[in-house]
Chains A and B, each alone.
Chain A
Amino acid sequence: MAEASRVVRERPTSPHTTIWRWHLTMATSILHRFTGIALYGGALIAAAWAISLAGGPDTYETYKAVMGSILGKAVLFALTLAAFYHLGNGVRHLTWDLGFGLDVKSANASGVGVIAFAVAATLAVWVIAGMTGAL
């Protein structure tokens, strides 16, 4: 049969991390997926919040104790950073989808901007949280 004798060539798969020199737009693209997967865990933590609230005062206090621990706060800090990065880079992607900012110079500049926004917004939120008694 023709099917069996046909040579199957390995199709190239992205990302070509072993071929290309690391650059900012590649890192921001990978970080977008990475933070998206991290926020998957964050959404499950949010679902646990709702379920524990519906469970009554005792369940809710246990939930708050776990999330208020050092480990819980560390996870929440990382999730804040992931959320602001994914938000900022998501807007960057939506801008690209509209056809703007696709040249290399603009893409590099917006990449730096998104990282700066994520760090600044995360620090601002945690400072405000500290001042409003949320910690």
Chain B
Amino acid sequence: MASYRTPLSRARGLGSAKHGVGHWIGERVGAVALIPLTIWAVYAVMRLAALDYYGAVEWISTPLNMTLMVLTLAISFWHMHSGLRVVVEDYIHKTLTKTGLLLLNLFVCGLAGALAVFSVLKVALGGA
């Protein structure tokens, strides 16, 4: 029996991710944002390494440092979730293992990212 499906319809969903271009663009938008943020983060680590607890609290409490730190953490976790997802989709082919690792990647990034962001906000806003 002849198939009436179009070539595009047959090609859709064949990639390892089963979907299209949105993920690819999202990964790159995060990457572009992380270019300046990574350079700032290196500077931030050098500043923080020279400060004790009270100095660090004072430093993170300025609006600029707090905002850049939250953005760096949030976009980093977003970007690394995208990246590791591709690695898993490329190399793990057993459905159950692949699904498990994709869920683990999402949950680890979601939990660690949320903990990091809310910790920064608590210190910066709460005067801890």
Contacts and interface: CB of A to CB of B under 8 A. Distances in A.
A36 B53 contact: no
A54 B123 contact: yes
Given A50-B115, A54-B122, A56-B128, A43 B31 contact: no
A57 B50 CA distance: 15
B56 interface: yes
Contact of B57 (A36, A53, A94, A97): A53
A53 B84 CA distance: 27
A80 interface: yes
B116 A51 contact: yes
A contact patch SS: helix
B11 interface: no
Interface in B51-90: 52-54, 56-57, 60, 69, 73, 76-77, 80, 83-84, 87, 90
B87 A33 contact: yes
Bin chain B's interface residue count. 35 or more
B49 interface: yes
Interface string A54-67: 10110011001000
A125 interface: yes
Contact of B50 (A53, A80, A134): A134
Contacts of A76: 45
A47 B49 contact: no
Contacts of A33: 83, 87
Interface in A52-111: 53-54, 56-57, 60-61, 64, 68, 76, 80, 83, 87, 90-91, 93-94, 97
A128 interface: yes
